[in-house]
Amino acid sequence: MRKILIAEDDQKAGALLKTYLEKHQYEVTLAQDGLSFQSEFSRHAEQLSLVILDVMLPDTDGFALCKVVRRRSNVPVIMLTASSDEADRIVGLELGADDYIAKPYSPRELLARIKAIHRRAGIDVQATPRYYRFVGFTLDLLERTVTDAAGALVPLTGLDYQLLKYFVEHPGDILDRSMLCEQTRGRDAGPLDRSLDVQISKLRLRLHDDGKQPALIKTVRGAGYVFSADVSAVPA
């Protein structure tokens, strides 16, 4: 089960979160007020793996909805709040919430918390793959190697490997330069920092990807890069 019900009255924020989680293979239902949340919860309570509740809603609050959830289910609950008041966090946790996250939040942090809660709850999440395969190449996460269609090792530096790993984990996603630098170097990229572009050029060369007309790692002008190959993840 990877079905999440979210109560969020901010339509734009809810849509962005829904899109982000769906890219990570979650099925997401949005409710913009307490009434629609209760309707969706009544219909799908047995199928849900997680509930996310915004504390502030137009017709009720997340605390009241947490009580509704706990009367019927032990499904994990994450509370979202714009308040930094410790009392709000304590009330939510005492009502049965499993975690609390303050707005504004990073979608990646929320995703990490969702995965952690699912692990603790013993909810089946996607099996961690060992291999990623794309256009004749195989990336082995255990051995930290890449081989071509003939089985020959592709020479990669540590940074090459980290960059390629992040690309194959997010095929089709537009990844901005700051995100890629953070994932591979642990820091943001300055406006004049071209080291990432140089690294991507080298990675393209190692993967026989034409730098002038790349087919694997494409540049999205003004946005970042996208790994355009079809990728299959294979468990160990």
pLDDT at 127: 60
What distance in Å separates the CA atoms of residue 36 and residue 68, rounded to the nearest whole number?
Answer: 13
Question: 126 in a domain, yes or no?
Answer: no
Asked if residue 69 has pLDDT above 80, the reply is yes
Question: 215 in a domain, yes or no?
Answer: yes
Residues 91-100 have pLDDT tens digits of: 878 888 999 8
Band (126; pLDDT cuts 50, 70, 90): low
Residues 117 and 138 in one domain: no
Q: For 4-13, what is the mean pLDDT?
A: 93
Q: For 143-154, what is the mean pLDDT?
A: 95
Asked if residue 125 has pLDDT above 60, the reply is no
Q: Any idea which of 11-25, 86-100, 211-225 has the lowest mean pLDDT? A: 86-100
Half-sphere exposure for 236 (CA within 13 Å, toward CB): 7
Band (124; pLDDT cuts 50, 70, 90): low
Question: 151 in a domain, yes or no?
Answer: yes
What distance in Å separates the CA atoms of residue 168 and residue 18, rounded to the nearest whole number?
Answer: 22
DSSP string of 49-62?
A: SEEEEESB-SSSBH
What distance in Å separates the CA atoms of residue 93 and residue 79, rounded to the nearest whole number?
Answer: 9
Residues 106 and 52 in one domain: yes
Provide the pairing of β-strand 77-81 with 27-31. Answer: unpaired
Output the domain CATH number for residue 225.
1.10.10.10
Closest to 145 in 3D by CA, of 128, 127, 129, 157: 157
Distances 19 to 16, 51, 191 between C-alpha atoms, Å:
5, 16, 28
Global model pTM greater than 0.85? no
Band (1; pLDDT cuts 50, 70, 90): low
What distance in Å separates the CA atoms of residue 34 and residue 107, rounded to the nearest whole number?
Answer: 23
Q: For 152-164, what is the mean pLDDT?
A: 93
Residues 113 and 17 in one domain: yes
* Local structure of 153: helix, strand or coil: strand
Q: How many distinct structural domains can be found in the chain?
A: 2
Residues 174 and 68 in one domain: no
pLDDT at 191: 59
Q: For 6-31, what is the mean pLDDT?
A: 90
Closest to 163 in 3D by CA, of 117, 209, 107: 209
> How are strands ordered across the β-sheet holding 224-227?
174-175, 224-227, 217-220
pLDDT at 168: 93
Q: Prior bond to 235 cis, omega within 30?
A: no
Higher pLDDT, 92 or 117: 117
Domain containing 35 equals 2-121
